[in-house]
Amino acid sequence: MRFLADENLFPPIISYLSKSGHDVKTVQAKAADDKIVDLALREKRTILTFDKHFGDILRYPPQNLFGIILIRIHPPLLDDIFYAIDNLFKNYHDESFKGRLIVLSKTGYRIR
């Protein structure tokens, strides 16, 4: 799977995904949200972020993107995040992320 990791994603998460065989690209620090969306579209990547602005479906309609995974785990403990990511990947595949906003939480995930 191809991800675009927002600047707020912890390096161990990026490493975890890469070691799991995923193609992960990071954005430059202070990149504007619109630039992130443009890059994700050009490179056909799913955006992975903690930034709740990407959860605004009016501003960032999921159906126009290759997917958004919004991590809403507080406190953001790595073990909880890894567990949530693994749980999601067990149930969904690349194609099913396209056009969807997926909100990860400690107890599961929601798909819009």
Residue-range definition of the domain harbouring residue 14 = 2-111
The count of domains in the chain is 1
Per-residue pLDDT reduced to its tens digit, 65-97: 999 999 999 999 999 999 999 999 998 866 679
- Asked whether residue 6 carries a pLDDT value surpassing 90, the answer given is yes
CB atoms within 10 A of CB 83: 14
What's the predicted TM-score (pTM) here? 0.94
